[in-house]
Amino acid sequence: MRKKTARRRVAATEAAKGFGALVDRVRESGEVYQVESRGQVVAEIGPVRPVFTMGDLRALLARVQRAPADLIDAVEAERAAARADVTPDPVPLSGRGVRKSTGRR
């Protein structure tokens, strides 16, 4: 879970004039600066968010204990039984071929 970062507002002209210093402050403090123009926030300048890669996922899954085979089999059997109990009504994909009853002939 990401930690909540403080947000400070800075005027767009001030951010443009001192962009290098603003970037240094972000790097040192980790704060997010909201750039404001004409009273509205138009951009945020903040630290890069960490990226979770597929390699990270593989490493995480390698550390996680697997569920017992009998538990997996029981879950799959229940899912199959639940799917067998439900027979969905056919849904027409277009208006063709479906005749609505008007009560008259």
What domains lie within the chain, and their CATH numbers?
7-45 (3.40.1620), 54-85 (no CATH)
Distance CA 85, CA 83 (A): 5
Cβ(14)–Cβ(34) below 8 Å:
no
**What pLDDT score does 4 carry?**
58
Q: Give the predicted TM-score (pTM) of the model.
A: 0.45
pLDDT at position 98, please? 57
With the CA atoms of 28, 34, 35 and 41 taken in that order, what torsion angle do they form, in degrees rounded to the nearest 10? Answer: 180
- CA angle 5-7-22, nearest 5°? 105
CB atoms within 10 A of CB 33: 21
Q: What is the pLDDT of residue 40?
A: 94
For residue 49, the model assigns a pLDDT of 83
As a whole-number percent, the residues of the chain with pLDDT over 70 amount to 79
pLDDT one digit per residue (tens) for the chain, 105 residues: 445 556 899 999 999 999 999 999 999 988 999 999 999 999 999 998 888 889 998 999 889 888 889 999 999 999 988 888 776 677 667 666 556 656 565
